Structure 1
Amino acid sequence: MSTNQRFSLPYSKGKLDDLNDVESHSEEYNNTYKPIKHQSIISRIRSYINQIISRTTNFALTYKKISLLLVTLICLSLFTSTPFIPHFAPTSPKVVIILAANEGGGVLKWKSPQEWSVERSSIANKKQYAKLHGYGITIKDMTIKKRYSHEWRESWVKVDIMKQAMREFPDSEWFWWLDLHTYIMEPQISLEQHFLNNLENATYRTLDGFNPLNLPTTIPYVDYSQPIDMVITQDCGGFNLGSFLMRRSSWSELLLDIWWDPAMYEQMHMQWEHNEQDALETLYSTNAWIRERVGFLPLRLINAFPPGACNDQADDPQYFFKNHDFVINMAGCEWGRDCWGEMEHYKALSKNLHKSWWHFW
């Protein structure tokens, strides 16, 4: 019997051509009705986004007035205080840096190129530090202004500026005043890390250990259990206000009001050599409620001096800058020293102290 012979089953047509037709039809079916593969997640997302954009566009074109009203309300909510939609404004900074400068020109005279350079360097330094740690910064004009009709009070301007800054940042806690001739040498250290998180242990409250002006060490009714609302330093000339901090409180508001009182100025301005500094020293010496909330930091913690400052104490290391001190204060450089040279020196020193090991230039 031939192996190629085919046998017909009872219900088959028994024809080879018919079998071939069935096979060809099955191939046709498979090719024509092949199942569709599932779309990827990205394709689905794109499809949904395109649908949303299409529907939004159609709605905006169909209902133009309603669309314009919605856009207006959203803009009012995001950029004004109109509370239609929750605002997404950033939280207020805990610390605000106050830098007294005069970006528009000279204070008593036209500024030289070196003075412009000092100002730019100081401002850039504070802006970079504030940005690094999420602090606020406000730059206040130090142009001399006649605050009252009968007097010039340029030396009291930092008291007024401190009050302005507290109004400008109503939800911030600490306000750090810095003179223009200062430079933050260790920008990687935050104030919280440096001393704010351990304020009671970082400061001293009485003048028993260090008292360059021989102020009264004790007065009646002082309660040193009160919190610290003002942080300052002492140098060879007394209180130093080139770098100091104030915490927002009712105590601070009252102190600033009294410190700015023109009656005090009128009585003592001929006797006070350092004006607002002498006024604060007098208030501290005679008022228990002021003394009990003032904390002193060692000078080099926020106010280190360069050589040339405090000449009469040139051998005392507690005043003068050493590598990795936090802030350098070039106090008095405009009186016989080179402010620009000192600023450039400490800028370069700070850069060199924090140069990465892989940098060779």
Structure 2
Amino acid sequence: MHFALPPRKTSNPPPYLPRSNRLPTLRRSRLKLIAITGLFFLTVIYLLTRGNGHPKLKKRMPTGNPPVVLVTVFDEAKYGKGYLDAIKENRIQYAEKHGYQTFFANIGDYDLKGAPGSWTKVVAMRHALTKYPECHFLWYLDQNAFVMNPQLKIEDHIMKTAKLTDLMKKDHSVVPPDSIIKTFAHLTGQDVDFVLTQDKEGLSVGSFIVRNGEWGEFFLDTWFDPIYRSYNFQKAEAHALEHIVQWHPTILARLAIIDQRLLNSYSQGNKGDQYRDGDIAVRLVDCVSAGAQACETESQRFTQQWRTSFGKF
């Protein structure tokens, strides 16, 4: 059997040809073009921000009209009309007393791409920002809760800078009891755009406040990211939030955790701090797992109370 041999190298190679100097010339031309373009954009940025003695451009601040939007998501297929009407009446009366607005959404209003319906709260908050772009704050409050103290205004009770500086828990474990990720110790109220509480199980997403602004939009968009919605977290958006704040310093740096009774008291004390007269709101957390009828039954002892309080204010 014969095998083909590789061709021999010629004994008379072609004469050496020097490399063309065209490539370096082209390279120099491109570098020059890039440099000129970069200088142009830097000049434009300078003129827009500092040139001719003009001050830096500042982002537009909301006017505060309305000061607060109270957001609630309803499950009309699960709860009776009488119960839901009482919740809506509670929100509307409280909002009217302080010049706030309400934003009501329903489970099923948005395409969650198969995610649990509890994610509706996040997209509803983002929708409310679009509808009320001039508000200062959004307060999300679950459908299993009542505003109980009509005298307390969110912007004074919690979100005033000096007040929030005193209320926020610093160097505090984000997820109880002993998370190694803790809130920043150096933050003040003016640094905070997201306020919530904890209960005995973790971060509580049944009542929380988001400040309107670029960061607030970024935060809600991040929380609602399809990656988190598609991941099988045991408690859906609640556990997704715990993941986000522990792994993303950009979120943690704008977060404040405050005492539960300031924003999110529970009707029973087995899962968190129990409601006392004077607290701003009460949530009927135990009734949720027991069924819709249980929530309607438990709500009756608070309905007359808040109506009486609102009548005095």
TM-score (norm 1): 0.62
For 1:87-236, what aligned pairs fall within 5 Å after superposition?
92-102=65-75, 105-106=76-77, 111=79, 115-143=80-108, 146-148=111-113, 151-197=114-160, 198-208=163-173, 211-218=175-182, 224=187, 227-236=191-200
The answer to whether the 8 Å contact 2:150/2:310 transfers is: no
Letter in 2 for 1:120: D
Structure 2 counterpart SS, 1:180: coil
The answer to whether the 8 Å contact 1:204/1:295 transfers is: yes
- Measure the CA separation in 1 of the matches of 2:88 and 2:310: 20
The answer to whether the 8 Å contact 2:262/2:280 transfers is: yes
The answer to whether the 8 Å contact 2:140/2:206 transfers is: yes
- Measure the CA separation in 2 of the matches of 1:353 and 1:257: 37
Cα deviation for residue 305 of structure 1 reads 0.6
Cα deviation for residue 286 of structure 1 reads 1.1
Q: Larger Cα Rg: Structure 1 or Structure 2?
A: 1
Cα deviation for residue 212 of structure 1 reads 1.9
For structure 2, list consecutive stretches of 5 or more residues without a partner in the other structure: 1-62
Output one character per residue of 1:238-297: Cα deviation in whole Å (capped at 9) or x when no partner: 11111101001222222222211112333x31xx21111111101111111111110112
- Measure the CA separation in 1 of the matches of 2:138 and 2:251: 18
Distance 1:195 1:222, change over 3 A: closer
Report the RMSD for the aligned CA atoms in angstroms: 2.6
- Measure the CA separation in 2 of the matches of 1:146 and 1:195: 33
Distance 1:123 1:355, change over 3 A: closer
Residue 54 of structure 2 is matched in structure 1 by none
- Measure the CA separation in 2 of the matches of 1:257 and 1:353: 37
- Measure the CA separation in 2 of the matches of 1:281 and 1:260: 13
- Measure the CA separation in 1 of the matches of 2:150 and 2:278: 10
The answer to whether the 8 Å contact 1:93/1:135 transfers is: yes
Structure 1 counterpart SS, 2:277: coil
For structure 1, list consecutive stretches of 5 or more residues without a partner in the other structure: 1-89, 311-317, 357-361
Structure 2 counterpart SS, 1:240: strand
Residue 7 of structure 2 is matched in structure 1 by none
Cα deviation for residue 214 of structure 1 reads 2.9
Letter in 2 for 1:254: F
The answer to whether the 8 Å contact 2:266/2:282 transfers is: yes
Distance 1:205 1:339, change over 3 A: same
Cα deviation for residue 143 of structure 1 reads 2.8
Query: Would you say 1:288 and 2:249 are equivalent positions?
Result: yes
Distance 1:264 1:195, change over 3 A: closer
Residue 298 of structure 2 is matched in structure 1 by 342
Residue 279 of structure 1 is matched in structure 2 by 240
Output one character per residue of 1:188-244: Cα deviation in whole Å (capped at 9) or x when no partner: 222233222222212224325x8525322349x996356100010000111111110
